[in-house]
């Protein structure tokens, strides 16, 4: 049976060109980038070349890029490293639909005595910058808002939120993990102070990411050891992974416009076919103002987890917005935040397309969806 992958927001396959860079660097560039001998300097050169490649993708200066183990560490470094600067608990603003890496860091701050405001979003999945402004306090240390939502694909008004933050003199962190490589990103045009990135959402391997830190932005370390990454993130750098991330960033910049147009056409083809052929379905969140590869659909009277399994048995990898905890499936916090009831939230699936998906695969997926929904609704009625 052929298998087709429609879960690129969870992780992407490593691109062939990126895999070549990873293998070559792992095999030949094995020095420690902090060593002053020839082998160390070879590693240092590859490290700095990748720093330039990542910086170029977002319009930053290479010195503003801090390499991390991924998006989660980048989010934690930005949030905890900024909040802890004052030494005493303060206030943080975020949104109700953030990734668990951001919400978890905010919850950790609450346990330390910080107060956190989670700004609501509209039914479209978008936060209102005026709500962010109204949430400001004299004690606000940081605003953290994602660029693109991982479940809906909706884009937040980052530049407008940045203007609010700038007027208040509060730093803005943006989780850009799901936007990087899908939409153009220029950190100067956006006006952000911190921007998180992850390699494995960009056709690079897992275990590598980066945090953009605008020049002049203060950041306390959250781990301690050596003086790596300009004293912002200690530990011997993962040079092969970082080199691979740099190559992936270079490819993303070259392919951005063409990939975006093609994937948007495939996404729209998928949605039009499903909505036209399957009753009781709809699109969650905004249909405009989102990344081109992502669609979140509900299927009334169908359990989302059962649908994932049914599609997997037919050869298609997709995902739900739900998380399993202690055997109980809880509705996605993102979907309930945009106003969906628990039942509809549990009946929703995310489809996220990527480089290798084709029209033929999308058409085959639609047929599998139609058959799976009909089967699951039939057995539900007879249960």
List the pLDDT tens digit at each of the 383 positions of the chain.
Answer: 899 999 999 999 999 999 999 999 999 999 889 889 999 899 999 999 999 999 999 999 999 999 999 999 999 999 999 999 988 999 999 999 999 999 999 999 999 999 999 999 999 999 999 999 999 999 999 999 999 999 999 999 999 999 999 999 999 999 999 999 999 999 999 999 999 999 999 999 999 999 999 999 999 998 899 889 887 898 989 999 999 999 999 999 999 999 999 999 999 999 999 999 999 999 999 999 999 999 999 999 999 999 999 999 999 999 996 544 334 468 999 999 999 999 999 999 999 999 999 999 999 999 999 999 999 999 876 55
Q: Are residues 288 and 361 in the same domain?
A: yes
Instruction: Say what the pLDDT of residue 381 is.
Output: 65
Instruction: Say what the pLDDT of residue 206 is.
Output: 98
Domain count, the chain: 2
Buried b (16+ CB within 10 A) or exposed e, 215-241: eebebeebeeeeebbeebbeeebbbbb
Domain range holding 352?
4-11+256-382
As given in the structure block, the two tokens for residue 263 are 């994937």
Instruction: Say what the pLDDT of residue 325 is.
Output: 37
Q: Are residues 31 and 84 in the same domain?
A: yes
Query: Closest Cα partner for 114 from 145, 76, 80?
Result: 80
Contact indicator for 324, 309 with CB cutoff of 8 Å: no
Residue 150 to residues 98, 132, 166, 294, 315: CA-CA distances in angstroms?
Answer: 9, 21, 26, 8, 23
Q: Are residues 110 and 224 in the same domain?
A: yes
CATH number at residue 266: 3.90.1150.10
Q: Are residues 174 and 299 in the same domain?
A: no
Contact indicator for 12, 352 with CB cutoff of 8 Å: no
Q: Are residues 157 and 272 in the same domain?
A: no
324 is catalytic: yes
Contact indicator for 290, 148 with CB cutoff of 8 Å: yes
Q: Are residues 225 and 345 in the same domain?
A: no
Instruction: Say what the pLDDT of residue 231 is.
Output: 79
Q: Are residues 168 and 101 in the same domain?
A: yes
Q: Are residues 218 and 272 in the same domain?
A: no
CATH number at residue 216: 3.40.640.10
As given in the structure block, the two tokens for residue 110 are 């609450």
Instruction: Say what the pLDDT of residue 326 is.
Output: 36
Q: Are residues 40 and 162 in the same domain?
A: yes
Q: Of 254, 272, 324, 342, which one is the catalytic site residue? A: 324
């Amino acid at each position: 049976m052929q298998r087709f992958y429609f879960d690129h927001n969870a992780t992407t396959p490593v691109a062939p060109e990126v895999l070549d860079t990873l293998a070559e660097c792992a095999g030949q560039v094995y020095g420690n980038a902090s060593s002053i001998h020839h082998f160390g300097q070879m590693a240092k050169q590859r490290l700095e070349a990748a720093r330039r490649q990542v910086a170029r993708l977002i319009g930053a200066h290479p010195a503003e890029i801090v390499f991390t183990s991924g998006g989660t560490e980048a989010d934690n470094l930005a949030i905890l490293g900024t909040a802890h600067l004052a030494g005493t608990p303060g206030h943080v603003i975020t949104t109700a639909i953030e990734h668990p890496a951001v919400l978890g860091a905010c919850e950790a701050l609450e346990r330390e005595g910080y107060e956190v405001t989670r700004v609501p979003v509209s039914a479209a999945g978008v936060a209102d910058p005026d709500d962010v402004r109204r949430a400001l306090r004299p004690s606000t240390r940081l605003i953290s808002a994602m660029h693109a939502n991982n479940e809906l694909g909706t884009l937040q008004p980052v530049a407008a939120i940045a203007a609010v933050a700038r007027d208040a003199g509060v730093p803005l962190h943006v989780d850009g993990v799901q936007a990087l490589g899908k939409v153009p990103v220029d950190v100067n045009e956006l006006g952000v102070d911190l921007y998180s990135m992850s390699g494995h959402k960009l056709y690079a391997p897992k275990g590598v990411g980066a945090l953009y830190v605008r020049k002049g932005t203060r950041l306390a370390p959250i781990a301690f050891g050596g003086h790596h990454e300009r004293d912002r993130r200690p530990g011997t750098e993962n040079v092969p992974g970082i080199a691979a991330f740099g190559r992936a960033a270079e490819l993303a910049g070259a392919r951005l416009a063409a990939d975006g147009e093609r994937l948007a056409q495939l996404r729209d083809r998928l949605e039009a076919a499903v909505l036209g052929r399957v009753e009781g379905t709809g699109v969650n969140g905004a249909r405009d103002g989102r990344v081109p590869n992502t669609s979140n659909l509900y299927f009334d009277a169908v359990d989302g987890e059962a649908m994932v399994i049914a599609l997997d048995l037919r050869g298609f990898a997709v995902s739900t917005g739900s998380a399993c905890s202690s055997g109980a499936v809880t509705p996605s916090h993102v979907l309930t935040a945009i106003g969906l009831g628990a039942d509809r939230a549990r009946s929703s699936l995310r489809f996220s397309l990527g480089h290798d998906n084709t029209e033929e695969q999308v058409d085959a997926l639609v047929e599998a969806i139609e058959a799976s929904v009909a089967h699951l609704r039939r057995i539900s009625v007879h249960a």
